């Protein structure tokens, strides 16, 4: 009965309205149903949530949600009423905020394993990076090139993952696509990505990329990785290959 099925309410027990614990039974059934549908074995244990400013920045930049007057976040519902067909593939958007790496110019991203899912295919991955202008800006330069290297890969221990020439008229966010090879490490078991961010022309241009700063000063401008992933059951993926 408790198995995930196309009929959500079938997983809810039939209750006698009289029993006072009926309500708590129903709440437990709703909890179990939500965890089932999210493919989670148990509710995540949140020990250090992302600073709200960083969260709201990411949601606003990605147009995933907006903050209502009451302070709650509102997201766009997927417009699909009626009997939607159950997709063998569930797509998700994952926003992963950078953690500090072993050196100041390295950032680390970690993606969680979801219970019971065979395969995660990364369809798209972008790094969002905030470039901050200092007051000693050299106006002669209007663009700089940012490069991302994947630590531990390639000949000299690093592989160029991506590079992008960005406009620096003002401080702001820039998206830098992550290459297929770097995406591949996110789909495997360790699901982590360590990137070194370089920008040779930045010092002379009076601009710097905000990375995973040890101080809270720049928390709201912490870099984040935006992933579009598809969890597929292994057999579905194999059929697809065939």
Residue 162, beta-bridge partner list: 148
- Which are the contacts of 94, defined by CB distance < 8 A and separation ≥ 6? 111, 225, 226, 227, 229
**What residues between 92 and 111 interact with other proteins by CB under 8 A?**
92-97, 110-111
Taking the complex as a whole, the smallest distance from the CB of residue 235 to other proteins amounts, in Å, to 20
> CB under 8 A: which stretch of 53-61, 129-137, 154-162, 195-203 binds other proteins?
53-61
| Pair of tokens at residue 151 | 């630590």
* CA–CA gap between residue 223 and residue 49 (Å, rounded): 15
Q: Name which of 7 and 215 has its Cβ closer to other proteins.
A: 7
- Choose among 106, 103, 94, 128: nearest CA to 193: 106
For residue 198, what is the enclosing H or E element?
A: strand 192-198
Q: Does 53 bind other proteins (CB under 8 A)?
A: no
Query: Would you count residue 18 as binding other proteins (CB under 8 A)?
Result: no
Give least dist CB 38 to other proteins, A: 7
Name the one range near other proteins by CB under 8 A: 45-53, 118-126, 131-139, 180-188. 45-53
Kindly tell me which of 91 and 134 has the beta carbon lying closer to other proteins: 91
Do residues 212 and 223 touch, judged by C-beta distance below 8 A?
yes
Applying CB under 8 A, among 1, 20, 69, 83 the residue interacting with other proteins is 83
Q: Is 138 helix (H, G, I), strand (E, B) or coil?
A: coil
Instruction: Please name the helix (run of DSSP H) or strand (run of DSSP E) that holds residue 185, with its range, or none.
Output: helix 180-187
CA distance 27 to 22: 9
Beta bridge partners of 192: 110
- Does 195 participate in binding other proteins (rule CB under 8 A)? no
Instruction: State the minimum distance, in angstroms, from the CB of residue 224 to other proteins.
Output: 9
Residues near other proteins (CB under 8 A):
6-10, 12, 14, 26-27, 29-31, 33-34, 37-38, 40, 43-50, 55, 58-59, 64-65, 72-87, 90-97, 110-114
């Amino acid at each position: 009965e408790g198995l995930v099925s196309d009929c959500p309410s079938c997983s809810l027990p039939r209750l006698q309205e009289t029993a006072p614990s009926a309500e708590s039974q129903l709440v437990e059934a709703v909890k179990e149903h939500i965890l089932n549908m999210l493919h989670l074995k148990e509710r995540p244990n949140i020990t250090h949530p992302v600073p709200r400013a960083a969260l709201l920045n990411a949601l606003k930049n990605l147009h995933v949600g907006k903050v209502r007057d009451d302070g709650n976040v509102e997201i766009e519902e997927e417009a699909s009423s009626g009997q939607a067909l159950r997709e063998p593939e569930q797509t998700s958007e994952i926003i992963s905020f950078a953690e500090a790496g072993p050196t100041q110019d390295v950032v680390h991203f970690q993606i969680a394993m979801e219970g019971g899912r065979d395969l995660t295919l990364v369809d798209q991955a972008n790094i969002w990076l905030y470039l901050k202008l200092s007051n000693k800006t050299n106006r002669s330069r209007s663009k700089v090139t940012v490069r991302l290297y994947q630590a531990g890969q390639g000949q000299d221990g690093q592989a160029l993952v991506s590079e992008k020439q960005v406009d620096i008229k003002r401080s702001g966010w820039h998206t830098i696509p992550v290459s297929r090879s770097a995406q591949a490490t996110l789909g495997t078991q360790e699901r982590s990505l360590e990137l070194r961010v370089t920008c040779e022309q930045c010092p002379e241009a009076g601009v710097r990329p905000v990375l995973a700063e040890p101080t809270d000063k720049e928390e709201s401008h912490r870099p984040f990785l935006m992933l579009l992933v598809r969890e597929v059951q292994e057999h579905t993926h194999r059929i697809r290959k065939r």
